[in-house]
Structure 1
Amino acid sequence: MADVDDRELKARKERERDELYALDISGVEWHSAPGTEEHEERVEIAYLPDGAVAMRSSLDHGTVLRYTEAEWRAFVLGARDGEFDLEPMPEGGAGGRRAPRET
């Protein structure tokens, strides 16, 4: 029974993703964090129907990621909880993602 449920869930998520990427978003309004300048690299988001969100880089308008309302909610809650915080950059090295929190 669990295998059937897993297959049904996977099929539903694939349908949702396909529908989301089939949306024409050519006329959406893109938003970025306040205080960023037009020439600065930044993340831009657009609100889509049913709570979905599209995300792109201000420097690469051709690559657009799309998230369902549930995916976006999980990301925002994780970001608020510090799940994606970066460690400070060590001297002479590149910064990186910190180890996930123990749950």
Structure 2
Amino acid sequence: MNTSKQCNGEAISSAFDSQNVGENLSHNLKLIRKQKGFTQEEFSSQLSISRPAYASYEEQRALPSLAVVIIISNLTGIDINTLLEDKLGEEVHND
């Protein structure tokens, strides 16, 4: 979904696509959790959210709030933009 907004009389293009964000975040959460050897229950506990809520993020049924994304970023040491915009590879080992 590309949108165009006006700012100071100039058109600004926004390439935010919630589908891609959901796919990237789902992929990244699953990869990070598995690399750390956590179950969904263990990882969701570290995030102070329920396991069903966490599972909905991995399964792309919901997007987490900004507060949860910030907690994930702080816990993993991975930049928020990277979590949302890129699919991480197997090289992620932020212990």
TMscore range, shorter length: under 0.3
TM-score between both structures, scaled by the size of structure 1: 0.26
Larger Rg: 1
Higher helix share: 2
Q: Relative to total residues, which structure has the larger strand share, 1 or 2?
A: 1
Task: Pick 1 or 2: higher relative contact order, CA cutoff 8 A, min separation 6.
Answer: 2
TM-score relative to the length of structure 2: 0.27
